[in-house]
Amino acid sequence: MLKKLVFVFLLMQLFSFPVYSLTITGGIEYTVDMAREESFNNISTTIDIQQFKKYLIDPNYEKHKLLIAQNKLRYKNIRILVFSDGVYVIDNLLNQKETFYYYPNGSLVQVEILLKKGYPEKSVIYDNKGVLTSVSYCISSKEQFVFDLNKKLIAHWKGNNCYNEKGELVMTREEK
């Protein structure tokens, strides 16, 4: 009898392998509607633009225009982006919460405010009167949704491809 018990015990030990757990990591797949809902959750449609009074005109306009002319788009703690229509963006790398967009004459077009850092990231863009114009919802470094004030999808970036609400490719971008 004892031999049978020992034999059964050994068999149980032999066939009872340790249990391992695995944490699965990965991103959430967002539909346009899910991203839209998250984008407009807890945002204000207006802000007091006077809080950005010192940025209504680019405070370093002459320096920034010179840097743009010299194609020095990274300088000290700023990054400058220039669009084909002449609008330029000043991205202060020390204050990544606010980004300012300026007309070629140095007057403010809009301010972008980062509401949540770390994916998914959410930022809102207000015009120079403090009215919400768009919301950006970045799922990852490779996927972003942009909606207008009426919650209409403006752009859905997947990698370097931009799609409209119908899923049609409307533009591409190239990283340099």
Span 103-131, average pLDDT: 95
Burial tier of 7 (Cβ tally within 10 Å: 0-12, 13-18, 19+): exposed
Write the single-letter amino acid at 67: L
* pLDDT at residue 5 greater than cutoff 60: no
Q: Do residues 145 and 137 lie in contact, with contact meaning Cβ atoms separated by under 8 Å?
A: yes
Break the chain into its structural domains and give their ranges. 28-172
The residue among 88, 90, 113, 81 whose CA lies nearest residue 103 is: 88
Q: b or e along 50-72 (b: 16 or more beta carbons within 10 Å of the residue's beta carbon)?
A: eebeebbebeeeeebbebbeeee
Q: How many residues does the chain have?
A: 176
Confidence tier at 24 by pLDDT (50, 70, 90): very low
Q: Do residues 140 and 127 lie in contact, with contact meaning Cβ atoms separated by under 8 Å?
A: no
Taking the C-alpha atoms of residue 146 and residue 50, their distance in angstroms, rounded to an integer, is 26
* pLDDT at residue 18 greater than cutoff 70: no
Averaged pLDDT of the chain: 83
Q: Do residues 63 and 47 lie in contact, with contact meaning Cβ atoms separated by under 8 Å?
A: no
Span 114-126, average pLDDT: 92
Q: Do residues 100 and 108 lie in contact, with contact meaning Cβ atoms separated by under 8 Å?
A: yes
Determine the 3-state secondary structure of 101 from DSSP.
strand
Least confident of 6-20, 128-142, 151-165: 6-20
Specify the pTM.
0.74
* pLDDT at residue 150 greater than cutoff 90: yes
DSSP letter for 106, please: S
| pLDDT of the residue at 83 | 84
* pLDDT at residue 60 greater than cutoff 90: yes
